[in-house]
Amino acid sequence: MSLASWFRWNETPHRISQRNPTEMVVETLMMELSWQIKQAEKQQRERENEYRKIKTGVDYGWLVSYPKQSYDISPGERLQLEDMCTKIHPSYCGSVIVRFRQVVAEYEPEVQEVSRLFRSVLQEAAEKIKEEEEAKKLARQWNTKNRTSLSLTTFKSRSRISPFISDIKTISEDVERGTQPTRRVWSMPEFRNTK
């Protein structure tokens, strides 16, 4: 028997599945949740062992065998969390995982509290996504309004501002001539049409 058959080098490489990005986000986030639940169980067991060791003075932790995973969230709660995960855009998946890990590290929750923390992180991310979408919508509306106003300014581009033209009257000229100044704001330049 050849080694290539053992290591399956002759097989064609598996292609990345052409799944929907939303499904991939849900799967990734739910895998993160289950991993954090396992870690919370492990930490809870370690705390219990430390407590027993302190209480009895003897460490029997090496004798105990633990089940792989004893806590699991209910099917209804899992469906609700999966539904919330569908609202997360794929570009936010990584930031949601990072935020979830930060919250878990900060609070060091019990196993039963992990899913609630996950729910709060998902709600926070969904609100942030909604705010950003509204901001983009307002920016698009602003840009369309600016385009129309820019078209008006290009339409009026034939009129030029000429602040240094020599025949503009100044206050000193009126004083020198002894005439009454016209009712005009002197700080404003004069507009002239150029042809």
Average pLDDT over residues 91-114: 94
Q: How far apart, in whole angstroms, are the C-alpha atoms of residue 171 and residue 185?
A: 11
DSSP 151-190: HHHHHTTTEEEETT-TT---HHHHHHHTPPPPS--TTSPE
Name the most confidently modeled range: 2-11, 45-54, 94-103, 181-190.
94-103
Crossing angle of helices 21-56 and 114-155, in 10° steps, is 140
Mean pLDDT (the chain) is 78
Identify the pLDDT of residue 58.
74
CB–CB of 87/126 below 8 Å?
Answer: yes
Summarised one tens digit per residue, pLDDT across range 56-87 is 877 766 666 666 657 889 999 999 999 999 99
Instruction: Tell me if 129 is assigned to some domain.
Output: yes
Give 127 or 51, the one with higher predicted confidence: 127
Instruction: Tell me if 86 is assigned to some domain.
Output: yes
DSSP 131-160: HHHHHHHHHHHHHHHHHHHHHHHHHTTTEE
CB–CB of 110/44 below 8 Å?
Answer: yes
Instruction: Tell me if 188 is assigned to some domain.
Output: no
Give 146 or 105, the one with higher predicted confidence: 105
Identify the pLDDT of residue 4.
56
Instruction: Tell me if 187 is assigned to some domain.
Output: no
C-alpha angle with apex 183: 186 to 155, nearest 5 degrees?
A: 65
Average pLDDT over residues 90-105: 94
The total domain count for the chain is: 1
CB–CB of 87/129 below 8 Å?
Answer: yes
CB–CB of 81/73 below 8 Å?
Answer: yes
Read off the pLDDT band of 48 (50, 70, 90).
Answer: confident
Q: Which domain holds residue 72?
A: 21-144
* pLDDT score of 1 more than 60: no
Identify the pLDDT of residue 61.
64
Identify the pLDDT of residue 29.
96
Q: How far apart, in whole angstroms, are the C-alpha atoms of residue 67 and residue 48?
A: 15
Q: What is the largest CA-CA distance in the chain?
A: 117
Identify the pLDDT of residue 141.
86
Instruction: Tell me if 173 is assigned to some domain.
Output: no
* pLDDT score of 183 more than 80: no
Instruction: Tell me if 57 is assigned to some domain.
Output: yes
* pLDDT score of 173 more than 70: no
